[in-house]
Amino acid sequence: MEFVILLCPNVSQTFHSSGGGGGGRQSYFLFGPRGTGKSQFVEDFYRNGLFFDLLDARVFNELMADPSRLSRQIPAGFTDWIIIDEVQKAPALLDEVHRLIEKRRFRFVLTSSSARRLRRENANLLAGRALMRHLYPLTAAELGDDFDLAQALRYGCLPAAYASEDPRLFLSSYVRTYLQEEVQQEGLTRNLPAFSRFLEAASFSQGAPLNLSAVARDCAVNRKVVENYFSILRDTLLSYELPVFARRAKRELTSRVKFYFFDAGVFRALRPAGPYDTDSELGGLALETLILQEITARNSYENDAYRLYYWRTREGFEVDFVLYGERGLKAIEVKHSDRARAGDFKGLRRFKEEHPEAALMFVYLGSRRYHEDGVEIIPAQVFFQNIGEFLNFPFPDGWQPSRETGGRLQ
């Protein structure tokens, strides 16, 4: 399968082929959830780089026994990039990386699927000598003509799920692998059965203000344990938590964060479906998730042009997503329906009363794009294809996406 590698301005500064000339020279961490294709990405973009894969037991044991071996394994006169994959497995190695950046001016790419162990062991995060970058599930721009909204709503946009002949089986395996390799082997919790119950219980909080006590009751553990479990999801980059937008608030607002698993397919793999679960309910949450993961990725690749929020009053008026930053104030409501009805805009209109400068958008599954009473009504397919237009993410003059084979899709 061919796809487009997304080279927004932020990405082109640091995610570049060492053989392509130019590009940024500063070392960086590349964080991303398990399965987003970090390893494949750096292998494709740094073909002349020197790789150290810490999932390889031999490499891991050698470097953990003596981190200075890293320096001795760099060939004399080497000037290209050095990639350490899954660096969170060996936080002590970062002191040696720091020394090599300072003393020998080497450039590193340090991939990681978890910030938890790095933080827990007070790892050296290189104090400004390395940038922090993130990789996300595939975006519509990366997929180009291969983007299929129906498939993305059902199976998400993890590269392997998108390319798999059996994405349902892949996603089921993804959850098991996460539990075994990310949670159990890293010692993030001793009670794996309780954490498995928690993942299912948390799936019922998708797209809702987070009620820790309710989740604790559902998975039969105490509230403090659930707090820790949600922190594991945050640290392993598997969730988003949106705060409420409270600037210039005239109405009483809710105070709870709004929770989402990071990918629509992972959410649907965790959420049990039965006769009481309507396609509209699950599809609606999947559509919200897909739009959030697209906005989050593109916003990150644009150097975080916006901060992301949601808005909900105590009276129950709500806006799914609020984007606030130098490029404006955007309020976005999402509806899993092929029709836009007047009642669907209540939250947006209440938000507009408090924030008259806001641009209002309503994204739905219909095919007609139009305006109604200050609300821009946008088909979901059009939103994904033109997100740069709607969120003021301009590409640099002369930018064209480059066709590649490989990359994050294997």
How many other C-beta atoms lie within 10 A of the C-beta of residue 377? 20
Helix (H, G, I), strand (E, B) or coil at 202: helix
What is d(CA 184, CA 143) in angstroms, rounded to the nearest whole number? 33
The domain defined by 2-135 folds into: Rossmann fold (3.40.50)
Record the tokens describing residue 396, joined without a space: 């640099």
pLDDT tens for 216-267 read 999 889 999 999 999 999 999 999 999 999 988 777 888 899 999 999 999 9
Q: What is the average pLDDT across 341-349?
A: 93
Q: pLDDT value at position 186?
A: 65
**Where exactly are the structural domains of the chain?**
2-135, 140-391
- Spell out the long-range contacts of 273-276 with Cβ–Cβ below 8 A and sequence spacing 24 or more: none
Torsion 82-87-93-96 (CA) sign = positive
Residue from 366, 338, 361, 364 nearest 348 by CA = 361
pLDDT tens for 122-154 read 666 676 778 889 999 999 988 988 999 999 999
Torsion 267-268-271-275 (CA) sign = positive
Going from the C-alpha of 402 to that of each of 54, 180, 282, 407, the distances in angstroms are 31, 37, 35, 12
pLDDT band at residue 394 using 50, 70 and 90 as cut-offs: low
DSSP assignment of 35-55 equals TS-HHHHHHHH-TTSEEEETT
Strand order in the sheet with 208-209: 208-209, 258-261, 239-242
Going from the C-alpha of 112 to that of each of 39, 116, 132, 170, the distances in angstroms are 10, 10, 11, 21
Phi-psi region of 406 (alpha: psi -120 to 50; beta: other; left: phi over 0): left
Mean pLDDT of the chain: 86
- pLDDT at 20 > cutoff 50: no
φ and ψ at residue 246, rounded to 5 degrees: -120, 10
Q: pLDDT value at position 24?
A: 60
Residue from 291, 292, 295, 300 nearest 9 by CA = 300
pLDDT tens for 150-166 read 999 999 999 999 989 99
